Structure 1
Amino acid sequence: MKTPIKGQLNAFFMFAILFFTALFSVSDVAAQSKGPIKNVVLVHGAFADGSGWRSLYEVLTQKGYQVTVVQNPLTSLEDDVAATNAVLDKQDGPTILVGHSWGGTVITQAGNHPKVAGLVYVAALQPDNGETSLQWLQTAPPAPENGVLNADDKGIIYYDKAKFHAGFCADISKAQADFMYASQGAFHAKGFLAPITKAAWRDKPAYAVIATEDKSINPDIQRAMYKRSNTKTTEIKGSHVVFISQPKAVAEVIINASKEIAGKN
């Protein structure tokens, strides 16, 4: 039979074990929160698919980042946001959400996910509340090389094959451009007409890469969007697919964002 003193001692030791376990757990979490954000989710745009991120994926993973590539169905803004949120749900901590081109519109909406710590726009659209992608695309005349075709009878937009290399990805090889054209998703035009309901960049840190040789989204459109939102920008000489032609430079923007957001200099 236990004496009252032994019972009290056992209770004290049990309390001490639980207290120090909790203390060390809190310390571990605090230490982890001070480190750079290691999760990166990449969201592709129209006339593309997730395979275009391969070079950037390799640079980031070699630097120790956990990278996940979203495969957007491109059927609507809502569907692409849902696909992105499904990936974000699986992240094990704070995440940098990166969007290219149309993917910028997607991350502007999906970036409200609680695991998103910051946003990186790569030659990407960045609408505000109530705005559509089309509104911004119409704010400057398209380049002669731009080959976005009118929607077909199913409401799907494709890029003109004759203009794809010069207009979309002029600074990669013809072989790479041919593959990108062959693997592009079927983008439904209604996505460009869908308004943003809550712009995540209003509440979360935003960074951007301006592709100075972009023939698909005029660089002046990019500059205007990012200036309006006070997004921290970096200009990189490259085509609309600057993340393929200049993966190290684009990766550096993402890495710096992950460190700055986590409080690192």
Structure 2
Amino acid sequence: MTKPSIVFAHGLWADGSCFGKLIPTLQAEGHEVLASQHGLDSLATDVACVTACFGRVPGPVVLVGHSYGGTLITHAGTDPRVAALVYIAALAPAADETSQSQIAKFATTQVFGHIDAPAGRAWLKPSGLTHFAGDLPEAEQKLVYATQGAPVADLLTQKVDGTAWTSKPSWYILASKDQTVHPDLQHFVSKRMNATVTEVPSSHVPMLSKPDVVLDVIRKAANAVTAK
């Protein structure tokens, strides 16, 4: 039986390379894999970029989103080609929420005190790395900084339609030491979507610090799709 494809959606201060510890293994296991390289210019164009990936791989698709990428898969995941959702320390707004309104319901995390926003783009300062990816070796933290994407400053307040987790099976990787998306928020959204939850003691980037855990969850989602 053909294995489902895997499509990744990155978050803020990242690009598709943040999934570099996962992609080769999934490819070797027989999955077609694409990482959306959306530009963080607007929510609508980012969702469209993720959705465009579905036409480049065979269905069904397991859609994986990290952080703000969770907002993207929540909207793009309503596409009928998507069979399952995997959230990694991610946002997951409901129909009446934006990413920012969801964040505002919980305590502010440390990373938001370490941002520059010249010319309308929000950049992560070097001082924010310990709050974003503090469980990575220093060299890997520097790589995260060097490959960061800079979102438009109002990106998290933008809104589009679609709430895939209300109808698609979902898995959630909860980063219990996260200083970017508050763990309490992660508990809330994962419970609300009735996700299968795997909790991991990691920073905001478990796909880099705990890749074996993340791979195991993606495999479980893919196996559930294959079994249908």
Give, in angstroms, the shift of residue 155 of structure 1.
2.2
What pairs up with 1:122-161 in 2 under 5 angstroms? 122-144=88-110, 146-149=112-115, 151-152=117-118, 154-161=119-126
Amino acid across the alignment from 2:62: I
Write the distance in 1 (CA, Å) between the matches of 2:158 and 2:186.
Answer: 19
Match for residue 254 of structure 1? 218
Match of 1:208 among 172, 176, 181: 172
Write the distance in 2 (CA, Å) between the matches of 1:245 and 1:63.
Answer: 21
- Does 1:45 find its partner at 2:11? yes
Runs of 4+ in structure 1 deviating by more than 6 angstroms, as ranges, are none
* Structure whose alpha-carbon radius of gyration is higher: 1
Match for residue 21 of structure 2? 55
CA contact (8 A) 2:32 2:57 kept: no
Amino acid across the alignment from 1:227: K
What SS is found at the alignment partner of 1:185? Answer: coil
Q: Which moved more, 1:246-255 or 1:228-237?
A: 228-237
Q: Which runs of 5 or more residues in structure 1 are unaligned?
A: 1-31
Deviations, residues 229-251 of structure 1 (Å, cap 9, x unaligned): 21211101211010011111101
Write the distance in 2 (CA, Å) between the matches of 1:137 and 1:258.
Answer: 29
Write the distance in 2 (CA, Å) between the matches of 1:175 and 1:219.
Answer: 26
Write the distance in 1 (CA, Å) between the matches of 2:72 and 2:178.
Answer: 20
Write the distance in 2 (CA, Å) between the matches of 1:158 and 1:235.
Answer: 28
CA contact (8 A) 1:145 1:215 kept: yes
Match for residue 8 of structure 1? none
Give, in angstroms, the shift of residue 71 of structure 1.
0.6
Instruction: Tell me the matched-pair count.
Output: 228
- Does 1:223 find its partner at 2:175? no
Point out the structure with the larger helix share.
1
Pair 1:258–1:176, CA change in 2 (3 A)? same
Give, in angstroms, the shift of residue 147 of structure 1.
4.1
Match for residue 131 of structure 2? 167
Match of 2:146 among 165, 182, 185: 182
* Cα RMSD, aligned residues only: 1.6
Deviations, residues 85-119 of structure 1 (Å, cap 9, x unaligned): 11111121201000000000011111112211111
Give, in angstroms, the shift of residue 151 of structure 1.
3.7
CA contact (8 A) 1:98 1:107 kept: yes
Q: Which moved more, 1:187-196 or 1:246-255?
A: 187-196
CA contact (8 A) 1:146 1:215 kept: no
Match for residue 78 of structure 1? 44
Give, in angstroms, the shift of residue 51 of structure 1.
1.0
CA contact (8 A) 1:127 1:133 kept: yes
Match for residue 5 of structure 1? none
